[in-house]
């Protein structure tokens, strides 16, 4: 299948016009796809159709409620099939990957053991574990409001002791022997891995790491929000126990995300969130009765549009073909990569070996914020700059050994002191012309 972005996206999205100081009025080039992708044409169309029959999901006897509920529940099956999750697994809907990781951290905080999180993990896959483990360690006590500043500090301190970090080597790859050592010298209950770095695009060997994790009796939790839209993922073949992702990363920006995991795990717990809809009955004494099913973890009126939009987006990705997507995106990224590598004024932070759809770079001697602003105002190109919630990666890539001055400046509210780089990220909405304009822009900026 030949990929044509003009057919995949509505014209008002693909041909969005902006005024620039250098090129006049031009089509906006979105190179910030690792943050958020636009909705597919098919997703928008099918969501509109769904809204015409939208009713109260799981809460009504009317025809619209029945139709809405059926499509909503079907979305779980489509998601599970796309990632080849075990049939008995639950798909628990969340707002995004952050919500999914907070839910997972909450459940695991009741179990004995430590948590292993990678050194290149997004803070949304790292901090929830520190918080949950810290709360567990200080005990479920009650405090006076005046004590809470100290309590919050103690939660972080105690939580960090329970969360072990494993890092990448000088080649920016995970060392399997180091992972084996961490698992053999600590009682690890949950091992958290990013399937693809949001900063460099590096994709570790998920299957091999999963085998090591299971050998030591830990649960394997994978953050796939930067992976699922670019590469084939198979929970069963890769040995993934829990999988988290966000719809807005794979062309369904309607506020949906999910956490997939084993039924026999979720059934042991009271739901992370509790309220109406997920409890069949509450006794006079206030005892709430619950069923052991997915609905027990689905309280309140659900974000049905978020759920079904993810289903439609994954169906569209399947129709296009992951292999076709990989080939198309890789060609675009490689062309931009080759230029950046050839420009002596560019500091490039990814090797060809790990080249994916993300290009992290800086222009020597120039502030990353100013470069990003010029790309936008002068050339109509949207990129992201900053630290991308991966501060360990920033320190490693920028070779920051002493951060005292950085800390002091940030405490004094000097936001420009935050170290970072520029990230250009490609997706199905991009074309060869987008790459050519990006190259033209970088040539102009580095020339002066």
5-30+322-447: CATH architecture? Alpha-Beta Complex (3.90)
pLDDT in tens, 382-423: 999 988 777 778 888 888 888 888 888 888 877 777 788 999
- CATH fold for domain 43-319: 3.40.640
pLDDT digits (tens, 9 = 90+) for 333-370: 999 999 999 999 999 999 999 999 999 999 999 999 99
pLDDT (tens digit per residue) in 164-198? 999 888 888 999 999 999 999 999 999 999 999 99
For the chain, give every domain's residue range: 5-30+322-447, 43-319
Q: Could you tell me where the DSSP H helices lie in 4-126?
A: 5-8, 11-14, 41-52, 63-83, 97-108
In angstroms, the Cα distances linking 407 to 44, 309, 358, 415 are 44, 42, 28, 11
Output the six-digit token pair for 207. Answer: 């299957």
Over the stretch 245-289, which tens digit does the pLDDT of each residue have? 999 999 999 999 999 999 999 999 988 988 877 777 888 888 888
Q: Which residues of 389-416 are buried (b: 16+ CB within 10 A; e: fewer)?
A: bbbbbbbbbeeeeeeeeeeeeeeeeeee
């Amino acid at each position: 299948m030949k990929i044509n972005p003009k057919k995949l996206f509505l014209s008002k999205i693909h041909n969005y016009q902006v005024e620039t100081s250098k090129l006049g009025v031009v089509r906006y080039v979105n190179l910030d796809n690792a943050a958020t992708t636009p909705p597919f044409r098919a997703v928008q169309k099918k969501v509109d159709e769904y809204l015409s029959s939208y009713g109260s999901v799981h809460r009504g006897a009317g025809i619209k409620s029945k139709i809405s509920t059926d499509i909503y529940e079907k979305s779980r099956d489509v998601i599970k099939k796309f990632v080849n999750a075990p049939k008995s697994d639950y798909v628990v809907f969340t707002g995004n990957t952050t919500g999914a990781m907070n839910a997972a951290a909450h459940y695991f905080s009741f179990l004995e053991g430590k948590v292993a999180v990678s050194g290149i993990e997004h803070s949304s896959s790292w901090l929830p574990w520190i918080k949950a483990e810290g709360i567990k360690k200080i005990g479920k006590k009650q405090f006076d409001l005046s004590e809470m500043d100290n309590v919050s500090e103690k939660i972080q301190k105690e939580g960090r002791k329970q969360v072990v970090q494993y890092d990448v080597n000088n080649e920016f790859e995970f060392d399997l022997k180091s992972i084996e050592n961490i698992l053999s010298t600590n009682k690890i209950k949950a091992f958290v891995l990013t399937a693809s770095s949001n900063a460099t695009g590096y994709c570790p060997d998920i299957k091999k790491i999963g085998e090591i994790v299971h050998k030591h009796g830990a649960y394997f939790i994978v953050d796939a929000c930067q992976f699922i839209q670019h590469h084939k993922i198979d929970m069963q073949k890769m040995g993934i126990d829990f999988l988290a992702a966000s719809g807005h990363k794979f062309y369904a920006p309607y506020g949906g995300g999910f956490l997939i995991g084993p039924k026999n795990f979720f059934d042991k717990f009271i739901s992370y969130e509790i309220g109406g809809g997920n409890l069949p009955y509450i006794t006079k004494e206030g005892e709430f009765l619950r069923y052991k099913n997915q609905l027990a973890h689905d309280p309140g009126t659900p974000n049905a549009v978020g759920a079904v939009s993810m289903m439609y987006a994954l169906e569209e990705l399947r129709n296009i073909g992951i292999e076709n997507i990989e080939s198309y995106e890789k060609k675009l990224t490689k062309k931009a990569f080759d230029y950046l590598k050839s420009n002596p004024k560019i500091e490039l932070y990814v090797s060809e070996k790990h080249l994916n759809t993300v290009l992290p770079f800086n222009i020597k001697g120039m502030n990353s914020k100013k470069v990003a602003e010029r790309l936008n105002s002068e050339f109509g190109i949207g990129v992201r700059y900053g630290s991308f919630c991966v501060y360990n990666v920033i320190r490693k890539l920028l070779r920051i050994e002493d951060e005292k001055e950085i800390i002091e400046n940030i405490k004094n509210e000097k936001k420009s002191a935050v170290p970072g780089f520029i990230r250009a990220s490609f997706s199905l909405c991009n074309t060869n012309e987008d790459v050519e304009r990006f190259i033209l822009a970088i040539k102009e900026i580095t020339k002066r």
